[in-house]
Structure 1
Amino acid sequence: MAETPDPTRSKVGRLIEEYEMTDVGQELEDRWLGRGRESQSLRSLADWFNRNILDERLKAAGEDPLDGEVANLYRLLSQEDVTAGMRVDAEATLEHHGIDPEELRSEFVSHQAIHTYLTDFRGASKERTPADRIESVRTTVQRLQSRLVAVAENNLDQLRNAGELSLGEFTVILDLQVLCEDCGESYSVTELLDRGGCECESVASE
């Protein structure tokens, strides 16, 4: 019989042990497989796990978070649609409690880390659902977008530093749109995935 891998070799497993969250590993597995509840996506599990980490850090700092406080603070720290001012305020709240925001962020895990922990270190598995496939497409596109932006920024910066391009402080903005030629609507890839499609189906049903 193959020996079960040591969970602490994974980031998720190390954090579970470090914060003595003894039941979290089993709950992650149950939530993913839908045991006694609706199955959750890996991304939602990563958010759930990260909120647990934040809660543990606040309690270690002597705080007793109110209902909803941890979830709101995590949202301000992690979501892209949060304004810079709101994120700075959230970071100031952490610093007031003696928590380094960057150190905390380094402990947050990705949905890929959750998947690795569940499959490689707990031996859990399930059939890929449409939601899983959509999540995979989302991750792939976002990774490619980030890479393209980084390549463009790096090359422009090199040209500017070499005196071959006149350019002040800059930000590369990539606007990737999907245009449906049947209904004429266009969406960002993320928006299209979130809404589950374009207007074709609703037009066809009228």
Structure 2
Amino acid sequence: MANETDVKTRYKVGRVLSEHDLLDLHEALPELWAGDGDESASLRALAERINVALMRQAMEEAGMDPLDGEAENAYRLLTDDDVSVGVRTQQRNRLERAGVDVDELETEFVTHQAVYTYLTKALGVTKDETDDTDPIEKHQQRIQRLRSRTAAVMENSLSELQNDGTISLGSFDTTVDLRVYCQDCESQYELSSLLQRGGCECE
């Protein structure tokens, strides 16, 4: 498994989410994109979600107290093609007067292509495009995404604790072992084995 720190340095989305401490959003990203049907968010929606979170954080750090929807509107006025140059300039000046470094903030904004690259290349997330997937395979893929995400979060936490001297740890890899125990027949299986055999010993 690639070192999590290297992944975040190599891919902009990972770096931005890490540096701005948006870890909850980082953890939710794979499931938001690869979710089923209406639960699946588009890459553009995910990029906007990240950028709005960056906008809100920048406003708060400047001492502003953005109301619900204010960060979303500020982002729209800065980036939407339908917004006039005059309105965009007014919004930019307003933010700068409040203490937001708009130039720096805009360099942190991510594109939908950057989100796609990070999800597929760094996190190994795939998205089902059809609904005729075998149900066992479908759920196995979903659980595997969660397992990969858990391993990545665990490795990230250990790396941070290691780097700041909180714990002593050499070179390491992380694994997540998922096992299922049936209380009725008192049998235990590794998850993939249970799914492949079609269940436990119960009738």
Alignment TM-score, normalising by the size of structure 1? 0.57
- The alpha-carbon deviation at position 7 of structure 1 amounts to 3.1
Q: Indicate if the aligned counterparts of 1:4 and 1:121 stay in contact, CA closer than 8 A.
A: no
Q: Cα deviation per residue 1:14-67 (whole Å; 9 max; x = unaligned)? A: 111111111111211121012696101101111111001111111111222101
Residues in 1 aligned to 2:51 and 2:36: alpha-carbon distance in whole angstroms: 21
Residues in 2 aligned to 1:112 and 1:106: alpha-carbon distance in whole angstroms: 15
Residues in 2 aligned to 1:106 and 1:49: alpha-carbon distance in whole angstroms: 13
Residues in 1 aligned to 2:54 and 2:43: alpha-carbon distance in whole angstroms: 16
Residues in 2 aligned to 1:29 and 1:119: alpha-carbon distance in whole angstroms: 9
AA in 2 matched with 1:33:
A
> Is 1:67 paired with 2:68?
yes
Task: Summarize the Cα distance change of 1:103–1:37 in structure 2 as closer, same or farther, 3 Å threshold.
Answer: same
Partner of 2:24: 23
Residues in 1 aligned to 2:82 and 2:60: alpha-carbon distance in whole angstroms: 27
Partner of 1:163: none
Q: Which runs of 5+ in 2 are unaligned?
A: 131-203
Q: Which runs of 5+ in 1 are unaligned?
A: 130-206
Identical pairs, percent: 44
Residues in 2 aligned to 1:76 and 1:62: alpha-carbon distance in whole angstroms: 20
Which 4+ residue blocks in structure 1 deviate beyond 6 angstroms?
none
Q: Cα deviation per residue 1:65-104 (whole Å; 9 max; x = unaligned)? A: 1011011111000110101111011101110121222221
AA in 1 matched with 2:29:
L
Q: Indicate if the aligned counterparts of 1:31 and 1:39 stay in contact, CA closer than 8 A.
A: yes
Residues in 2 aligned to 1:60 and 1:13: alpha-carbon distance in whole angstroms: 21
Partner of 1:7: 7
- The alpha-carbon deviation at position 127 of structure 1 amounts to 3.2
Partner of 2:101: 100
- The alpha-carbon deviation at position 3 of structure 1 amounts to 3.6
Higher relative contact order (CA 8 A, sep 6+): 2
Residues in 1 aligned to 2:91 and 2:114: alpha-carbon distance in whole angstroms: 25
AA in 2 matched with 1:77:
L
Alignment TM-score, normalising by the size of structure 2? 0.58
